[in-house]
Amino acid sequence: MTAHDTRAEDGRMAAVTARAGYMMGENVDRAWSTEHARAWEGFLELSRQLRREADGVLEPVEGLTVSMLGVMGRLARADDLTLRQTDIAGAMGLSFSRVSRLIDTLEARGLVERRPCPSDGRAVNVTLTTAGQALTRRAQDAVFAFVGERFFASLAAPEIATLADVFTRLIGRLDGAGAVLEDCG
């Protein structure tokens, strides 16, 4: 990396880390080092950029989004390709109304079907259709290639191991780290 590249990279990170002060005010100036701000805001910025780029990768695949693929991918791995709509929302960390709108769109495209849950008349099951299965595989292949190129290709094996350890530890500290899916067969 040249001195010019380093200065440009420092300038980009300065703009990113300034956001910590916007969100947390003078607390950041008093309590955080530059590394704290770079770690926190760098994580958030990288997440935003990768999510936007992943949506861009999926757009040509029948106009899908990461959230749509999140629904379809969960259904593709579920028993009988079916989950309760409420369980999908819980597993994705999205509101029921947001997931309902996603499923409306997928259903209108013939990629999923809604059916009453046989064991609970109040619940609705969502099932991935044959067309949905084929599209899910294509979209997953596109995202897999994207993640390999835009994320993992820039990291050495020890860095991947470090990130995995750090994220595992941090996620383990969060409340509600995992959602339990109820059987509705």
Give DSSP secondary structure letters for 38-62.
HHHHHHHHHHHHHHHHHHHHHTTTT
Domain stop point among 52, 67, 90: 52
Taking the model in full, what pTM does it have? Answer: 0.80
Report the distance separating Cα 131 and Cα 136, nearest Å. Answer: 9
3-state DSSP helix/strand/coil % of the chain, to nearest 5: 70, 10, 20
Are 90 and 174 contained in the same domain? yes
pLDDT at 7: 52
On the question of pLDDT at 182 being above 60, the answer is: no
Report the distance separating Cα 41 and Cα 51, nearest Å. Answer: 15
The share of the chain scoring above pLDDT 70, in percent, equals 88
Are 88 and 104 contained in the same domain? yes
Are 83 and 134 contained in the same domain? yes
pLDDT digit string, tens, across residues 122-176:
899 999 999 999 999 999 999 999 999 999 999 999 999 999 999 999 988 886 5
Which amino acid is present at 58? L
Are 48 and 63 contained in the same domain? no
Tokens of 84: 């309760």
Are 107 and 70 contained in the same domain? yes
Are 103 and 141 contained in the same domain? yes
Q: Give the CATH number of the domain where residue 137 resides.
A: 1.10.10.10
Q: Which residue has the higher pLDDT, 157 or 13?
A: 157
CB neighbour list of residue 54: distance below 8 Å, 6 or more residues apart: 66, 143, 146, 147
Are 122 and 101 contained in the same domain? yes
Going by pLDDT thresholds of 50, 70 and 90, the confidence category of residue 181 is very low
Are 45 and 113 contained in the same domain? no
Burial 82-92 (b: 16+ CB within 10 A, else e): bbbbbbbbbbb
The number of distinct structural domains making up the chain is 2
Are 96 and 20 contained in the same domain? no
Which amino acid is present at 73? G
Domain carrying residue 109:
59-185
pLDDT at 10: 64
> What is 100-141 written as a DSSP string?
HHHHHHHHHTTSEEEEEETTEEEEEEEEE-HHHHHHHHHHHH
pLDDT at 81: 98
Tokens of 76: 């593709």
- Nearest CA-CA partner of 73 in 132, 142, 136, 147: 136
